[in-house]
Structure 1
Amino acid sequence: MYKIGELAKACDINNDTLRFYEKNALLCPSTRSESGYRLYTEKDKETLQFILRAKGVGFTLAEIRELLSIEVNKADSACADVKTLVDSKLNDVETKLAELIRFQTSLKRLSNACCGGAESAEHCTILEALESDTNDVRHEHKLNDKES
């Protein structure tokens, strides 16, 4: 049997993380000692490691709860159920990656359009592009009227 600190240390997490998983109904101590300490079994340790691996590949707490439910009742679920969860998560990740690539492209375009000089930001092409409702980004600062 493990006390909370022992289990947390064995899984390289802190006690608060373990309590957080308990609070969110992902893990429950198997029993309590006479003095009220939470006690965990080797099976609880395996469940915690499952949670940590699932979290490590990006599953949310709700998704992990669903995976644990399937894990506990494997005979009542099909492999297709698990694959559906994974494929849904993969689709979410691919959507987020596409969005991040769009952000990256836009930010590069903004950065490349700016001279980055010491001139006043009054005519900064980045600010102008963000103020504008068009996608046009000029490739250098406008000259100040006084500089013309």
Structure 2
Amino acid sequence: MARYLIGQLAKLCEVSSDTLRFYEKNGLLVPGERSDSGYRLYSEEDLSRVHFILRAKAIGLSLDEIRELLAIRVEADQHSCAEVKAITQAKLEDIDSKLAELKRIRNALKKLNDACCGEDNDNASHCSILEALADEPH
């Protein structure tokens, strides 16, 4: 069975050793045994776990969500697929909400931007964008 030092595992996963230590500190990665000289040793399962973490992170899952999925993965026979789907469904709903908010912000910003003449030779004392932002809400 292969054993990796932290630097070796980091290189295989294309992350820094500090990233692996961060995952350990946050309970995503549990260091296994230590070598005779006291260095942490990581297994093939740890390599697989880090790849899982990185893929989950790449699709926008938070550390808490990843931690929850890892816990389910460890005891998969005691959990349902519906539990896993609930996590991704909640994330999708969160993303949809953020997208709607970003669209609202974009539309408001575009309206302000389109209303401004943006001429270089006009001073900003009567800029429609500055005036709109300074107006008190009704």
Distance 2:36 2:46 in 1: 19
User: How many residue pairs are counted as aligned between the two chains?
Assistant: 135
Identity, % of aligned positions: 54
Structure 1 position 126 matched with structure 2 position 135:
no
Letter of the structure 2 residue corresponding to residue 17 of structure 1? T
- Spell out the pairing of 1:1-148 with structure 2 (5 A cutoff): 1-118=3-120, 119-133=122-136
- The Cα of 1:36 is off from its aligned counterpart by 1.5
TM-score (norm 2): 0.93
Q: SS at the partner of 1:33?
A: coil
Distance 1:117 1:21 in 2: 51
Letter of the structure 2 residue corresponding to residue 53 of structure 1? R
- The Cα of 1:134 is off from its aligned counterpart by 5.3
Cα RMSD (Å): 1.2
Distance 2:101 2:38 in 1: 49
Q: SS at the partner of 1:39?
A: coil
Distance 2:83 2:126 in 1: 56
Q: Detail structure 1 runs of 4+ shifted over 3 Å in the superposition.
A: none
Q: SS at the partner of 1:38?
A: coil
Distance 1:106 1:31 in 2: 56
**Larger proportion of strand:** 1
TM-score (norm 1): 0.87
Could you say which structure has the larger radius of gyration?
A: 1
